[in-house]
Chain A
């Protein structure tokens, strides 16, 4: 059989071709317009293809051409600051070619193949190099050095190596066996890139969001799921992480969500400064936008495109964070394709392999020793959009089985405008044990103990609240009333954080610790004042406490917080005398 076949059947994004030799996951060109597709099933003579563009108007009998390549991404300088669709076509190029509406049949290089980059060699003639080894550097953006690596499968002795200005397709290094290397390489998206070994994570991804860093920390190389009903804050949280987390690189995938949200990122990021480096955020970001109205098959591919790019930067020794908003839309794309294939459905119509696909995806997160012996990581944060907000459904469950961090968004909190609306009672992180040492060494020796006290207070509050519901808070003994006040302070002063606030949207981890300590200082001061006869009301209402709380919205809080706490404790002590 040849590379060329003909269309037998078209059913939405699924096209069947006959008369063509094909292997699974071959990339094919469908119809006279050459729409891009991928072989996803073989039935005897017939190859079933998912097509990444709209298929209306295509007829049986039109040609299908097998490129015999697998769906791959192009990797090399030029990736950063780009915005791609699900199959790595740059959206600015599509705009140039098609105008503001995405039509079809247009190919576009993932980045400018003509652009000249300055290549600085890191190896010399005669050096032995192995797959994954860095052979040269390119200063891609102000903050990021793009490391040019030997493709994972190649190795040998360097016969020649260039230095100076080249485009990504020019050969910069030749091995003795004749292997030529360019700054651009390709990698199939469905195959994880290799590494030497996975390490247990021991460093947190510091996000600047208090509830996350303090109560439910995520490790660099870890995976987190954020399920929540519509309007509860998945996107705002993901965008905050993209803005403020201390990853060196961010891959942001808008998977089957709103167009305007991507526009927002595009408008905002170039003007935002990375609090960790002081440089524009865009310089460390790659975006993938396959919105809800773009073809579903490309939506299915988008998460693989994203994670492969993330792994590539990981292999250079970077800490990469990947956000996927929303993995539910990815799962739905799988369901739609699966139902067109008339596969036997599993739970809620999802294919039976749903949970294994989810697991495989999150397994591509991790902190690794790269092929070149560096330390790199991919942290994955996936939003989940459960129907009706009920997480007993298959995508949420499949995710929770594999991720170690669960940030549960709560419609009730969102309705009370308590943001981030992360439920502190049912969320969890399984990382604290492995991260505690880092917190002790880098923030404070007693960090884990402070955390335990804070979360303990919230726990007690929830138990007390049940009683309050029945008898009113006045019926509680004063020490318990104080506990309620302290817990309220935790919620309103510490957990709440407006994702759009100029100052408070990002909170330095050292400041987080001091804010938590401030709450505990309030508790201690109040307890001892009350033991000496002070009234709860007086203690709670000292003006310096509200000053302390309000000041978090001002710049330079970290410089004044300790003295404000001193003023507060002194004022609380004074309430004893008033009586």
Chain B
């Protein structure tokens, strides 16, 4: 049925085109629209029946009139995949953006992606060293995990993501990640920042970029991450690569979802986002993981900016309900001039337990992490108290903890953008910093580790 062009558009609304009297059209089928001025646009079928077909147009509906010709392509959206993807820059709909040739397809993969059978998954448990102390110690990243960065506008989440992309490696291994980078609605400036950094470090050769910028069609953002993940799945599960998917900014993606929902006059959920946003996001985030019998893996590092710095906003909220933890960036720390401004207190890596310890990182990792966290949490809390009662009212223990919270931020969190600390360096640093606190207050450290690692006991 491909080829037949219909001119039966009845309504155009937001990103949607309604038409009637067609042959049977498949749900999810790809559509091209030819405008009277010759422009070609693409879309996808959202609703189909004998009488009415609703098409979502990726490039926006501007200039579409009732004379536009609509052709159904006979198939759902597929991405041509092959290892040629590596080193390429594509646009948000999967077309070359780097002036290079079309991708010669090894196969064509459905971009919606099928769910991994939960029975076929393998538990992720390989520690990834990012070289960023706050992450490695407190929210350890595991190969195959989905761990988002919850940030906000004006904060250096991109630097952190790039630093991780540059430095991430399995401990004691040179095996590198293929980076699949997916830009959704970010500014050209941000994109150039990413691209030039990847170019500078040579990482571009080992990366695939899918780029939808702020001035590209918003609706296209719905498919961009699906393309990126389809490429990632091919590279990971057909070609044995370990893939790190970075996508930014999920907030723009969700806003595009909201736009489509509104055009369809759907009953909106919280703050106008569609009620199915949880499921929709899960269809992306759950494409991380490791599966039995395949060598590769997909680790996801989504970046989202919390509107109004509000972690209960539906975008971070629903993400947090799906991902395996979160890394929270703090405006306060940023304003204090600390990079990376990671607030470890609300941050969490749910898979951390399975990837740290004697066999993988170091025997004292868990206790050190617990102790650093607890001491910092208490110190931070005391700051509030001191503001009311003054420092003199504190007892000795509290004074030490209060001081420690400053040291934690200044010496532990703070590192430069190209400082790549090994996990041993991070742990040794922790011991040095904790020695400013009397050992008797370090109740979470086992005596065995104190004997072995505390600077006072090391010759």
Contact = CB atoms under 8 A, between A and B. Distances in A.
Contacts of A98: 117
A433 interface: no
Contact of B124 (A59, A254, A260): A260
B312 A293 contact: no
Contacts, number: 186
Contacts of B110: 56
B370 A417 contact: yes
B47 A9 contact: yes
Contacts of A95: 117, 119-120
B26 A56 contact: yes
B406 interface: no
9 contacts: A11-B47, A57-B76, A59-B26, A60-B48, A61-B24, A91-B119, A231-B326, A262-B121, A349-B267
Interface in A39-74: 54-62
Contacts of B267: 339, 345, 349
A289 interface: yes
A258 B270 CA distance: 22
Interface residues of A, number: 63
Contacts of A54: 112, 114
Contact of A294 (B115, B287, B324): B115
B278 A332 contact: yes
B341 to A, nearest CB: 18
A231 B97 CA distance: 40
Contacts of A289: 118-119
Contacts of A263: 118-119, 121-123
B27 A262 contact: no
B272 to A, nearest CB: 11
A230 B320 CA distance: 6
Contact of B26 (A57, A339, A500): A57
Contacts of B119: 83, 91-92, 94-95, 262-263, 266, 289
A554 interface: no
Given A60-B50, A263-B123, A267-B123, 5 more contacts: A16-B49, A56-B26, A230-B320, A254-B118, A256-B279
Interface stretch (A362-370, A385-393, A420-428, A444-452): A385-393
B304 to A, nearest CB: 14
B21 interface: no
Interface stretch (B98-106, B189-197, B203-211, B343-351): B343-351
A551 to B, nearest CB: 15
Nearest to A18: B50
A10 interface: yes
Contact of B286 (A91, A103, A258): A258
Interface stretch (B129-137, B239-247, B291-299): B291-299
Contacts of A569: none
Contacts of A103: 114
B121 A260 contact: yes
B346 A415 contact: yes
B116 A101 contact: yes
B373 A417 contact: yes
Given A231-B348, A388-B312, A415-B345, A291 B115 contact: yes
B321 A230 contact: yes
B202 interface: no
Contact of B49 (A10, A254, A345): A10
B94 interface: no
B268 interface: yes
B330 to A, nearest CB: 14
Contact of B266 (A61, A293, A339, A388): A339
Interface in B46-89: 46-50, 75-76
B36 to A, nearest CB: 28
B231 to A, nearest CB: 16
B282 interface: yes
A277 B29 CA distance: 55
A100 B291 contact: yes
Contact of A293 (B25, B49, B115, B269): B115
B322 interface: yes
A293 B282 contact: yes
A56 B112 contact: yes
